[in-house]
A and B are shown apart, each in its own frame.
Chain A
Amino acid sequence: MENRPLEYDYTVAKMFMLTTIILGIVGMSIGVFIAFELAFPGLNTVLGSGLAEYTNFSRLRPLHTDAVAFGFTLSGIWATWYYVGQRVLKVSMAESKFLMFIGKLHFWLYILGVTAVVVSLFMGITTSKEYAEFEWPIDIAIVVVWVLWGVSIFGLIGIRREKSLYISIWYYIATFLGVAMLYLFNNMEIPTMLASSAAGETGIGAWYHSISMYAGTNDALVQWWYGHNAVAFVFTVPIIAMIYYFLPKESGQAIYSYKLSLLAFWGLMFVYLWAGGHHLLYSTVPDWMQTMGSIFSVILILPSWGSAINMLLTMKGEWQQVAASPLIKFMVLASTFYMFSTLEGPIQAIKSVNAIAHFTDWIVGHVHDGTLGWVGFMIIAALYHMAPRVFKRELYSKGLMAAQFWIQTLGIVLYFTSMWIAGITQGMMWRAHDEFGNLAYSFMDTVDVLHPYYALRGTGGLLYLVGFFMFAYNIYKTMSARPVEESELQNASPMGA
């Protein structure tokens, strides 16, 4: 017994892998659909005018962002946590009935929350705050789910055998704390049923309805402090946790520099929260805050590139692996997109650039080269790495994986190039004046000119979705194949059996 390697328990990891794939398909399909709605508005009523209320762009848009951010991405984060956590802490979840129970409860409550979110957003029940559209009953459920994950993290840390916390764990802890703080503070709201009329009536109107504790400029400030930093603690920090584990593991290389990882981690923690103000440039928030948002966004390049360079240098002397392994390709390109995106963001946060970029499709492009390239690719890579190990089967097809990589890469390139051109065109046309000082274009002119780019963007998204279906198929064939041990036993000698 003493010399046997630890057997990890991947039950909960498998459950979250499944939701990563299913909710990824749902979220991305809706994304592709609404992208084409902007190019071809007739699609808004594609299921008939009776259902138009539920298939039109405005109703589906929050569903898309939430399904991808909190469906696909969070599931991916948790799938990797329930895999990586055990391995770097050198303790199996099977050793604690309590933690196993918490893990499963975490999953099932999450499923319940997702269902409630989908139904309520379809119904138009929303608080209107981007990425925090949920009404108070769902907010409470989300807090419970989050706390359960926290119990899982600190519970597993509590019974660990490995004394020192590996880098990935730092980032998972930061994700947990960061999102908890942001979410709680931003979602402070008062249910309207608590009010009473002068006639003494109470419980008036929809029971689930609430209004924000903050008004106007304050509400905007808190929302974008949350909105930007949800990007930090959902799309950046936990994805770095993944790459710090999976890239060294897959490539067989040690992390290039421990000191750089330290610097990048604490730098990111300190700097990121300041940058939210760049969403509010030229708005009514105080000028000093806008300036801080702008400056810290540029400083943010340092810790971001610190992590990315650390990753790329981990491959030093091993670059032939990039050519040989599609899985390494995914991770190296993810890091590259991270660098690209964290350079593009600060550029957009410069006040003069923001004057053109804000409110345009360039911002949409920026979000997507980050989420598709960095977040999507890293989660896909992580699941590809995990699948053979958790299902104890060979990966179904490396060729399919390589084909998926190129199709999705082409999709991302189409996406961000079309949105760059669209956004900058839009921004320039809005501000253009003729020689008499009158506006050169009507608003409709700027809508007309975008049609080809919207069509191109839809195509890019579609390619990415096709690649994602290939990924889902590859994983499905892997998990439904015969176990490796089974096939080994058939060929083994009587002595080996």
Chain B
Amino acid sequence: MFHWLEKHPFLFAVGVFVTIAFAGLIEIVPNFAQASRPVIGTKPVTLLEQAGRDVYIKNSCNACHSQLIRPFKAETDRYGHYSLSGEYAYDRPFLWGSKRTGPDLHRVGNYRTTEWHENHMKDPKSVMPSSIMPGYPWMFTNKADIDTAYATQLTNAQFFGVPYNKPVPMKDGSTTVVPMAKSVAEAHAMALKEAKEITAKMKDQDVKDAVARGEIPEIVALIAYLNSLK
């Protein structure tokens, strides 16, 4: 009965397309209106955190670490409260990961410190003796890309309405404003100010010196991002 269709390639192709597109439409479209509402307490990332997120992506940290705590006792015991959809409202791209070669990081900012991250990124075995994670020493010398992070913030604000420079409701009933720079020069000054707060708690003298000179090594940005994961 289908022989006739096999003689009409165009109709055949249309048939195939409709058949495969159907499921996608039903699954994806209804969620779009729903899933982008932020929960109370979710705020956009700061400039240095954004630069750190870019470092995280650049090195495919998401290949081994998830950022999605599932609603199981074992997971909430180990990592904290299970993840909520609204917490990801400003995440472009999402970084849930698909494999845990290392532990989940969605709330790593709650239980690891700047100093711990510094040691861990330089030599993971120094804090986790049987870790199979490689060290990332080049992050201590590579410079974070503040310009691109700034462009990302601008894109988020201009195209997707992410609330920079706007009050965001917090859990305690107060509001907070995540500021965004007006120009590239101001962005650099802002990132540097954030970087100084991080390096005050770091040990590596080269990194401290670099920040004092006005440069921002990748590690500083990455730690800012990891600390923001709560």
Residues of A within 8 A of B (CB): 37-39, 41, 44-45, 49, 52-53, 56-59, 61-62, 124-130, 154, 157, 163-165, 170, 173-174, 177-178, 181, 185, 190, 192-199, 201, 204-206, 209, 211-212, 214-223, 225, 262, 266, 269-274, 276-277, 279, 282-286, 289, 292, 296, 355, 358-361, 363-364, 430-433, 438-439, 443-444, 447-448
Cross-chain contact B70 with A173 (CB below 8 angstroms): no
Q: Please pick, from A215, A266, A363, the residue contacting B88 in the complex, using a CB distance under 8 A.
A: A215
The 0/1 profile, CB within 8 Å of A marked 1, for residues 110-147 of chain B is 00000000000000000010111111111000100101
Q: Which of B90-98, B194-202, B208-216, B221-229 contacts A (4 or more CB under 8 A)?
A: B90-98
Determine if A286 and B183 form an interchain contact, defined as CB atoms under 8 angstroms apart.
no
B92 is contacted by which of A41, A44, A219 (Cβ under 8 Å)? A219
Contacts of A277 in B (CB 8 A): 27
- A355, B72: Cα distance in complex, Å: 9
Q: Closest Cβ of chain A: how far from B108's Cβ, in Å?
A: 12
Least CB separation from A150: chain B residue: B13
Contact flag A272-B68 (CB < 8 Å), given A173-B9, A195-B151, A197-B154: no
Report the minimum CB–CB distance from A292 to chain B (whole Å).
7
- A201 near B27 with CB under 8 A, answer no
Q: Which residues of A contact B58 (CB under 8 A)?
A: 124-126
Contact: B89 with A197, CB < 8 Å?
no
Instruction: List, in ascending order, chain A residues with CB within 8 A of B60's CB.
Output: 58-59, 61-62, 124, 126, 128
Residues of A within 8 A of B130 (CB): 444, 447-448
Nearest-CB residue, chain B, relative to A451: B132
A283 to B97, CA, bound (A): 11
Say which residue of A170, A279, A292, A439 sits within 8 Å of B27 (CB atoms): A292
Q: Which residue of A41, A192, A448 contacts B133 across the interface (Cβ within 8 Å)?
A: A41
CA distance A170 to B9 in the complex (A): 9
CB distance from A237 to the nearest CB of B (A): 10
Q: Given A128-B57, A201-B183, A448-B130, list of 11 further CB < 8 A pairs?
A: A61-B60, A124-B59, A128-B93, A170-B12, A204-B147, A204-B151, A217-B36, A270-B20, A273-B27, A430-B74, A447-B131
Contact status A221-B183, CB under 8 Å: no
Interface centre among B7, B27, B186 (most CB of A within 10 A): B27
Whether A219 pairs with B91 at a CB distance below 8 angstroms is yes
Q: Map CB proximity to A onto B46-61 as digits: 1 under 8 Å, 0 otherwise.
A: 0000000000011111
Query: B189 on the interface (CB 8 Å rule)?
Result: no
Query: Which single member of A163, A205, A273 contacts B7 (CB below 8 Å)?
Result: A163
Q: A38-B132, A62-B60, A163-B7 are in contact. Are A216 and B17 (CB under 8 A)?
A: no
